[in-house]
Amino acid sequence: MVRTIESASPALCRLHLSTELRRLREESRLTAGEVARRFHWAASKMTRLETGSDGVVKPSDVMLLCRLYQADAETAARLESYAVVTKTKKDWWQSPEYRSVISPGFQAYLALEASAAQLHSYQSEYVPGLLQTEEYSRAVHRLGPADLSADQVERLTAVRMTRSEVLCREGAPKLTAILNEAVLRRTVGGREVMRAQLDHIASLAAGQPHIRVLVVPFSAGAHAGMSGPFVVIRFRQPGMRPIVYLENLAGSGITRRPDDVEKYADAFSDLLSSALDQQQSLRLIKEAGNVL
């Protein structure tokens, strides 16, 4: 539950709505298909409502569902208020400046990241987006699809810099980022850009108690992250299950399936065992910067 509706972000309201509406339906012993047929809705509409993937939720739809599920008056009023927020406020990534360069899958992730209590990230090739400097980010985007214009590169870089502000706000999520040593050794954007990037990571990890950066050294050999990067997102609200974000050349997306989430959570725990501790990791990060 959010403390005040007035201060709530649309992303957090959508997340609460999806969780609560799914819970109420399950308690009513109805399937999503049965509810969709009751209101002559497409099945995909129920999916969007229960995954929080619609940017705007109609308060009238929420009230229809609350009546069907026989929700108490207080719950119905709260959920209606959440829906009103999604209609009257916008998250920063929904502005015209950014929307054209952000894929729907990544928009979904930004909404979750902005609402997270904990982010458990593993990266095998790149510095995680939340820890990137502007010049490193720009270099990464220049290496992206060949059809990206200079303006699109700048907009994507601005998205990444704006996104990183989530780590500076009150109630920022606790970030544990595990990096493959290759991330430190691969020079992106030139030696000066990479040196500044490594200094930035070391400074954040040493100076911000809610940010922890660990490194899996080459000497660890085979490890649980060799299938690729991922982020496990955990929330502070009771009843909101962890979610996993995945990204590759074909696109990006989230998975909520409990079996999948458990696999990635277990992989992250295994990576913690393979990684150097915080001080050893910081020494390795500084050493990588010194040899550039």
Q: What are the tens digits of pLDDT across the range 101-116?
A: 988 778 878 888 888 9
Question: Domain map of the chain by residue range?
Answer: 5-90, 96-290
pLDDT score for 174 = 97
Ranked by mean pLDDT, the top range of 8-12, 154-158, 181-185 is 181-185
pLDDT score for 115 = 82
Q: How far apart are the first and last CA of the chain?
A: 48
> Whole-number mean pLDDT of the chain?
91
- Flag whether pLDDT at 133 surpasses 90: yes
> pLDDT tens digits for 47-88?
989 988 777 899 999 999 999 999 999 999 999 999 998 888
The mean pLDDT of 19-35, rounded to a whole number, is 94
- Say how many C-beta atoms besides its own lie within 10 A of residue 262's C-beta: 12
- Flag whether pLDDT at 144 surpasses 90: no
> pLDDT tens digits for 159-171?
999 999 899 887 8
pLDDT score for 190 = 97
Contact 8, 88 (CB under 8 A): no
The mean pLDDT of 119-127, rounded to a whole number, is 97
> pLDDT tens digits for 59-69?
999 999 999 99
- Flag whether pLDDT at 89 surpasses 90: no
pLDDT score for 4 = 52
Ranked by mean pLDDT, the top range of 98-107, 144-153, 191-200 is 191-200
Q: Tell me which CATH code domain 5-90 carries.
A: 1.10.260
What is the Cα–Cα distance from 1 to 13, expressed in whole angstroms? 9
The mean pLDDT of 201-206, rounded to a whole number, is 95
Q: What percent of the chain has pLDDT over 70?
A: 97
- Flag whether pLDDT at 41 surpasses 60: yes
DSSP state of 252: E
- Say how many C-beta atoms besides its own lie within 10 A of residue 206's C-beta: 15
What is the Cα–Cα distance from 190 to 251, expressed in whole angstroms? 27
* Cβ-proximal residues to 282 (8 Å cutoff; 6+ apart), any chain: 202, 205, 206, 213
pLDDT score for 8 = 65
The mean pLDDT of 89-100, rounded to a whole number, is 84
Q: What percent of the chain has pLDDT over 90?
A: 68
Instruction: Scan for tokens 């720009």, then name that residue.
Output: 138
- Could you name the CATH architecture of 96-290? 2-Layer Sandwich (3.30)
**Spacing of C-alpha 130 from chain mean position:** 10
Phi, psi (rounded to 5 degrees) for 70: 60, 45
pLDDT score for 5 = 54
pTM above 0.85, yes or no: no
Residue of higher predicted confidence among 249 and 126: 126
Q: How far is CA 69 from CA 1, 20, 62, 159, in A?
A: 19, 11, 10, 39
- Flag whether pLDDT at 195 surpasses 60: yes
pLDDT score for 3 = 46
Q: By C-alpha distance, which of 274, 118, 292, 270 is closest to 181?
A: 274
Phi, psi (rounded to 5 degrees) for 55: -65, -35
Which 3 state secondary structure label does DSSP give 276?
Answer: coil
- At 216, which amino acid appears? V
